[in-house]
């Protein structure tokens, strides 16, 4: 039985990857990437400090 891998990402990797323009790395991972709503909220709260991080919410 094939099972899809679920990858749950937290705030720090999202902010860091966004800031160095490498968010597309997440799309290259095998499986489905999940960003919990609490992580999304934290990233948005820090978007004033990390301007590229706001793209995570899109």
Q: What is the mean pLDDT of each run of 10 residues along the chain (58 residues)?
A: 83 91 90 91 89 77
Q: How far apart are CA 57 and CA 41, in angstroms?
A: 9
Per-residue pLDDT, 51: 84
Q: What share of the chain is helix, strand, coil (3-state, %, to 5)?
A: 50, 10, 40
Other Cβ atoms within 10 Å of 48 Cβ, number:
9
Q: Quick one: which H or E segment has residue 32?
A: strand 32-34
Per-residue pLDDT, 36: 93
Q: How far apart are CA 11 and CA 39, in angstroms?
A: 5
Q: How far apart are CA 53 and CA 20, in angstroms?
A: 10
pTM (predicted TM-score): 0.77
**Domain map of the chain by residue range?**
6-57
């Amino acid at each position: 039985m094939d099972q899809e891998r679920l990858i749950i990402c937290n705030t720090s990797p999202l902010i860091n990857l966004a800031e160095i323009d490498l968010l597309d790395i997440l799309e290259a991972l095998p499986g489905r990437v999940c960003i919990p709503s609490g992580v999304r909220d934290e990233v948005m709260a820090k978007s004033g400090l990390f301007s590229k991080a706001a793209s995570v919410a899109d």
